Amino acid sequence: DAGVIQSPRHEVTEMGQEVTLRCKPISGHNSLFWYRQTMMRGLELLIYFNNNVPIDDSGMPEDRFSAKMPNASFSTLKIQPSEPRDSAVYFCASTPQGSGNTIYFGEGSWLTVV
């Protein structure tokens, strides 16, 4: 099992640029989560999807953030325009159950906005 696959693993971009993070969940999992992790705020849930449908996006910080899940095997998190305070590790996670009690994380996308 390949696990949750995220890309890119590392991204350094200039303020104002668009950033797109990608995630491939574990095959057969029907829930997908995007988290952001910083030293100050820890792990924060940004948005989660169930069967490709966004269920709760209350954690998305601003309109600059958007997420899509066009099919069961792919999701994107986009930041446009990016700002230095968006620098963080962004994790994608998936679970076979909607309650998320057995959630599997990817290795993260390390974003630095300069």
Partner 1 sequence: QKEVEQDPGPLSVPEGAIVSLNCTYSNSAFQYFMWYRQYSRKGPELLMYTYSSGNKEDGRFTAQVDKSSKYISLFIRDSQPSDSATYLCAIISGNTGKLIFGQGTTLQVKP
Assess 25 for contact with partner 1 (CB under 8 A). Answer: no
Of 84 and 98, the one with the shorter C-beta distance to partner 1 is 98
Taking CB under 8 A as the criterion, the residue among 15, 16, 17, 43 binding partner 1 is: 43
Assess 106 for contact with partner 1 (CB under 8 A). Answer: yes
Taking CB under 8 A as the criterion, the residue among 93, 94, 111, 113 binding partner 1 is: 93
Query: How far is CA 49 from each of CA 1, 4, 39, 45, 55, rounded to the nearest angstrom?
Result: 21, 15, 25, 12, 5
Cα gap 54→17, rounded to integer Å: 25
The minimum distance between CB 28 and partner 1, in angstroms, equals: 17
The minimum distance between CB 81 and partner 1, in angstroms, equals: 27
Dihedral sign, Cα of residue 100, residue 105, residue 109, residue 111: positive
Assess 65 for contact with partner 1 (CB under 8 A). Answer: no
CB 94 within 8 A of CB 103: yes
Q: Is 63 helix (H, G, I), strand (E, B) or coil?
A: coil
Interface residues toward partner 1, by CB under 8 A: 4, 33, 35, 42-45, 48, 56, 91, 93, 98-108
